[in-house]
Structure 1
Amino acid sequence: MTETTTDHTDPADQAWGDRYAHSLLGVFGTPQLCLVSGQGCRVTDADGREYLDLLGGIAVNALGYAHPAWVKAVSEQAATLAHVSNFFTTPTQVELAEKLLEIAQAPDGSAVFFSNSGTEANEAALKIVKAHRPGGRVLALEHAFHGRTLGALALTHKEAYRAPFGHLGADVTFIPAGDARALADELDKGDVAGLFIEPVQGEAGVWPLAADYLREARRLTAEHDALLVADEVQCGMGRTGRWFAHQASGITPDVMTLAKALGGGFPIGATVTFGTDNSTILTPGQHGTTFGGNPLACAAGLAVISTIESDGLLENARAVGEHLVTAIVGMSNSQILEVRGQGLLLGIQLASEIAPAVVRAGLERGIILNAANPTTIRLAPPLILEEADADLFVAALPGLLEAANSTENKEN
């Protein structure tokens, strides 16, 4: 990687940005870059600049870019059979479902529903919860993020996301994350159909839920016949160094939702139901999708899982994640308060609201980062990240913080 210094007004990037503004709905704001290619953990923009990507498509590109196993699987499947209707099945669909049940350590009677995104996976889970106890309330945690369609949005805590759209189709009560007493109090009211949790709250700034809390949530929901849904959309598929983040606590949820890294860059979501009782709540005709589980998406998912297994990427996520945490904490920089997270899902907590400025400074120096909020830098790089690339970031971080502070001081 060569260090770059730019204000991102280069001709090609600017031209694509202008065309974007005139042709796409502006819900994402102005794109930071126009990216045209990628290899491994690096991407190249329209003006030929290269960047070390420590965001990975927001925890999507588990194998990085253009991984040969992923490219081979998708190319061969595209040349064979890309899509069939849900009146039929395909070998890749069945094989991926079986593999997910295996790595989830799901009991007999468990099942998988395939969709196209994490939001859709959570929509399916919400329907399961509502059908389990019609008319019952649903619990979600403060600072949760479960998606942006109307049902999933009802479970998302941020008021600014929900307020413009009125009633969202689910009676949701938000409770403090990690507070078992608050959970017990709501469950004691007797009208709760289910609880949605993210074992690691990624969009909130990478806040892992304590293992003791997860175990108590499992005990309490089972005691009150409320379904426990583990949203592993961001923290699943090896991101934390385990297949699924909830496995560290030893619990088994009733339902689990997946997406992002599952397809390694190809859109796919999955809703996993654990056990026969949970797998028979929805009956034929009560849910469906046109594209979910198509053979092309499932081939991508199988390639991701097999490569994580064959290349030891669970172990790599743990080792490189620990290396990053040790190195960043060891800097003893006064701007860094703590580093949270597991594996290669990390949040760097800053002492002031300079995270967006750090992201801008990173781009200028050829590193892609993310500000989960004004005080938190989120890292979610490909699981193939090596220590040498991690060290490039650690070496650059003091300069990024200094540049961000300088920018903020000038603006204030």
Structure 2
Amino acid sequence: MSEIKSQEQSEKEIFEAIDKNDVVLLKSLLSEKQNVNIVDENSMTPLQHACYKGNKEIVQLLLDQGADVNCSEHQHNYTALHFAGLSGNSDICLALLLAGAKSSETNTVGRTAAQMAAFVGHHDCVAIINNYIPKSDVECYTKPQGLQTAPLLPPFLIESFHKFIMQVNIHPVKIVINVYKFVGLSDHLPEIKNVLELMSEKEMKRGSEMNEVMSFKFYYLAYTIGEIIKIRQRQTGSKKDETEEDKKLDVTELFTRKLLKSGKDGQLEFMDRFLIECVREFPFRESTLFRQMRVKIPPSALSVVVSAINGQRGFVDNVSACNTCGEEKPAKKCSKCKIVQYCDRNCQRLHWHWHKKACNRLCQGLAESESQVKPDAAELSAELHNLLVK
């Protein structure tokens, strides 16, 4: 009897340590080789509690101890990933996915973890979940299949390719930057394009596990890489529509200039045309996602594509973004106008061709606004006092 009580007490202490975010105590308790796949009175495991609390260190500790990442004994079938999405901690979502969490699991009302995260406005979690691809889905392309004498994807590219397709920021400029950032990708663009197209087709042929979102993402990445290949070919050829200045630019600069060129109304016309054409050429026209995007294309093609892949935001966040690649919460600003924001010097360099034409105008407008005489606080106070006295 005392042994049973001791076991119950130990389990209770584990849940209490998680509730208090007491990492030291939890480590001490787990050092006694306690079973971490226990449940409380609500059929929640320690891992589920830690995910809901949003404590990444405790989550990783439990995962290292063998916590079942897909346990769903909860009365409403919530998994650890559901609770992580509800907590809003995208790092925990990624840790769970890397540990084998199934993003397709649904609760008793038929909602996945990504859908629950979207419901409470945790869009970072939605993006992480929607963009996760197990490395095993890529490894098969690095080995010859059937009658193939060589793999479709060189094995040494697996790390770079996996990082590339996992990226949450799918702005076209960011894609071309990543192509040249991740080792080896830029030297094997035709192979990468081919594999992405095959992966897109495969996602649509999974039967009940069909994933239209990932199918479109793979297709979209392949389409963008196809455009990069075309630009390369035009540069190496003798196309009449290429100016001498264009020939001096690298592919990233040339593609970025085209994408970021705005029309008279300020719209990025080339980017809109590029993305609209991308959606129109999506081969799986019977898909629900395709029909939704066709309806929603105007006025911003980029927002439609991003929403389709990363999940639609229920409200418009006032989040700053890099003017070049769209990365949220950029760290730098133009040193001159102090208005336009960038991730780094490279993004500023890529955008300067267009920004330099507006920078002086922005500086002038800022100077005029700062030169306006600000009302004196004492005068306002005196006027208010006079009104009250009267």
What's the TM-score bracket when you normalise by the shorter of the two chains? Answer: under 0.3
Comparing both chains, which one has the higher relative contact order based on Cα–Cα distances under 8 Å and sequence gaps of 6 or more?
1
Q: Which has the higher strand share?
A: 1
TM-score normalised to structure 1 length = 0.22
Q: Which has the higher helix share?
A: 2
